């Protein structure tokens, strides 16, 4: 499988707006099932972190006061990612913030997002639920640090992607894995996954 950029944001809320912004981003580059490069930074977007979000993530207003600006961080991380295909766990969330923050520096996303949450629903139906921490424990993957911090979550999602790739090869006999296959598979109804994957054997 080609190089994939696995991304995770921490934010002040659910939907990006002038009052709801990203506070941290991490990206890990996955190649042949291994993390080969990392980028992580807090980012100061000039908005306050609500108390319950600070409790959840551990990211405080004091920490963000000395963090680099959101614009600087997004310019750096956009250069780091380039045209590499993207993946996130619950990608609908991270995609919204990636597009919003890129838009603020007059950039546009060039590539699709694959979603390890949607893929796990199809390939790991026996898991108790499809939260990242639950899937990590269920698949006996390493816990990489404090949940709800961007680097720990990005690394867990990358490890999960490597596990899902092994499932596709081992259980389903898929020979050539690609980001495009992942993007198509995440839209296939769970009951039709086996049938869909026959064409990739």
Rounded to whole angstroms, the Cα distance separating 140 from 43 reads 32
Model confidence at 10: pLDDT above 90: yes
Rounded to whole angstroms, the Cα distance separating 201 from 199 reads 6
Helix 91-104 to helix 116-123 angle (10° resolution) is 170
Q: Note the pLDDT of residue 148.
A: 84
Q: Note the pLDDT of residue 147.
A: 79
The pTM (predicted TM-score) of the whole model is 0.95
- Tell which residue, 164, 171, 186, has the closest CA to residue 30: 164
Task: Compute the mean pLDDT over every residue in the chain, rounded to the nearest whole number.
Answer: 96
The pLDDT tens digits for 168-198 are: 999 999 999 999 999 999 999 999 999 999 9
- 197 secondary structure, DSSP code: H
Q: Note the pLDDT of residue 146.
A: 79
Q: What is the average per-residue pLDDT within 105-117?
A: 97
Q: What is the average per-residue pLDDT within 38-47?
A: 98
Rounded to whole angstroms, the Cα distance separating 49 from 65 reads 11
Say if residues 110 and 25 touch (Cβ distance below 8 Å).
Answer: no
Q: What is the average per-residue pLDDT within 61-85?
A: 98
The pLDDT tens digits for 112-166 are: 999 999 999 999 999 999 999 999 999 999 988 877 899 999 999 999 999 999 9
Q: Note the pLDDT of residue 57.
A: 93
Q: Note the pLDDT of residue 122.
A: 97
Q: Note the pLDDT of residue 30.
A: 97
Strand 113-115, strand 86-88: pairing: parallel
């Amino acid at each position: 499988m080609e190089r994939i950029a696995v991304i995770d944001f921490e934010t002040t809320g659910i939907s990006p707006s002038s009052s709801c912004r990203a506070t941290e981003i991490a990206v890990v580059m996955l190649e042949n099932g291994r993390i080969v490069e990392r980028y992580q930074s807090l980012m100061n977007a000039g908005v306050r972190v609500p108390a319950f979000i600070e409790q959840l993530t551990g990211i405080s207003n004091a920490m963000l006061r000395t963090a680099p600006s959101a614009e600087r961080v997004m310019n750096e991380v956009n250069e780091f990612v380039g045209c590499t295909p993207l993946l996130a766990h619950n990608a609908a969330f991270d995609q919204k913030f990636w597009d919003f923050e890129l838009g603020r520096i007059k950039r546009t996303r060039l590539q699709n997002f694959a979603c390890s949450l949607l893929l796990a629903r199809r390939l790991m139906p026996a898991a108790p639920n499809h939260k990242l921490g639950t899937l990590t424990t269920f698949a006996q993957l390493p816990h990489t640090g404090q949940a709800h911090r961007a680097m720990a979550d990005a690394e867990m999602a990358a490890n999960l992607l490597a596990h899902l790739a092994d499932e596709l090869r081992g259980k389903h006999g898929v020979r050539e894995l690609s980001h495009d296959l992942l993007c198509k598979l995440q839209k296939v109804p769970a009951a039709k996954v086996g049938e869909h994957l026959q064409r990739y054997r």
